[in-house]
Amino acid sequence: MNKLLKDNSYSQPLLLNGVKTETEFSGQQVESKFDSCAQKSKSRDGGYTIIESLVAMIVVSVLMIAIAPVMAFSVATRVQARRVELATQAAKTYIDALRTGAIKFGVSGSGFPIPAPAGKLADARVPASFGETYCVDMDGGGCTVISGSKDFYVQGAWLNQDTSITGGDPTSKGYQLLVRVYRADSFAPGVTLNPTPQAKKQSVVGLGDPTMPVVEMSTEIPASGNPSYKSIFDRLNKKP
C-alpha cells in the first residue's frame, strides 16, 4: 500500500513536467513560424533602388553599343553573300542567252557584248548606261535602278583575234566573253562606275561597292553551227 502511494506521488510531477515541456516546445514552434513569416514579408518588400536600376541600364547600354556594330556587319556580309549568289545566276542566264541565240547582234537594247580592245579582254570599257546592258529581273517587278532592288544589269565584252571578222558580228566565228554583273543601284543617279574594274575586286564582306561589278567572269562562246571545241581550236590557231 505504501509502495503504491509512493508511486502515485511521483506520477503527478512527471505529468506536469511533460505538459510544461510540450507547451514550451509548442511556443517555440509558434515563435519560429512567426519569425519566418516576418522574414518572408520583409523579403517581399525588398527591391532594386533607383541607383541600382540606373547602373543596370548603363551596363546593358554599354553592352549593346559594343555588340551592335558586330551584328550590323554580320547582317551586311550575309546580304552581300546573297547578292553575289544572285549575280552569279544572272551571269549564267546571260551566257545561256548568248549561246542559244536569244540575244542577237545588231538588236538595239538587247545587251549584246561590246568589242574589247585587241588582246586585252579585261580592259573593256564599263557601260555608259544601263541601256548598254542586259537586265535580269530577279524580283518580278520589272527592271529598276533603286537601292535594295534584286535586279541585275549584265555587261558583256567579246574578243576574237581573227581580223577577218567584219561588221562587228563575232557570232559566226565564236569569241571569248567577259561578263560583268552590276547591281541595280549601280546606275542610280549620282553613282559613277569605276572606269577600271580590273584594277580592283569587289569586296565579299560588308555591303559592297555599287561602283564595282558584283561578279566578273569569262567564258567561251562557240561559233554558231560549229561544235564548241572546233570553234575554240580555230580561234586559238589564229594569230593577231
* ∠ CA 86-91-94, rounded to 5°: 125
pLDDT digits (tens, 9 = 90+) for 160-211: 887 777 667 888 888 999 999 999 999 999 999 999 988 887 777 677 889 9
* DSSP assignment string, 186-199: GGSTT----S-GGG
Please name which of 88, 87, 134 lies closest in space to residue 110, comparing C-alpha atoms: 134
| pLDDT (0 to 100) of residue 109 | 85
| pLDDT (0 to 100) of residue 10 | 44
Amino acid at 53: S
Q: Is 113 exposed, middle or buried (0-12, 13-18, 19+ CB in 10 A)?
A: buried
| pLDDT (0 to 100) of residue 60 | 87
* DSSP assignment string, 21-80: HHHHHHHHHHHHHHHHHHHHHHHHH----HHHHHHHHHHHHHHHHHHHHHHHHHHHHHHH
Rama region for 176: left / alpha / beta (φ>0; ψ in -120 to 50; rest): beta
Count of CB atoms situated within 10 Å of the CB of 232: 17
Amino acid at 93: T
Give, for 91, the enclosing helix (H) or strand (E): helix 50-100
Residue with cell 551592335: 68
Q: How far apart are CA 85 and CA 82, in angstroms?
A: 5
Rama region for 212: left / alpha / beta (φ>0; ψ in -120 to 50; rest): beta
Instruction: Count, in order, helices (H) and strands (E) of the chain.
Output: 3, 5
pLDDT digits (tens, 9 = 90+) for 51-65: 888 888 888 888 888
Residue with cell 565579299: 204
| pLDDT (0 to 100) of residue 136 | 93
| pLDDT (0 to 100) of residue 236 | 66
Question: What is this structure's pTM?
Answer: 0.68
Cell of 2: 505504501
| pLDDT (0 to 100) of residue 215 | 93
pLDDT along the chain (240 residues), means of 10: 45 46 49 53 60 86 84 83 92 94 88 88 92 90 84 94 77 91 93 89 78 93 69 60
Please name which of 217, 222, 9, 2 lies closest in space to residue 94, comparing C-alpha atoms: 217
| pLDDT (0 to 100) of residue 186 | 93
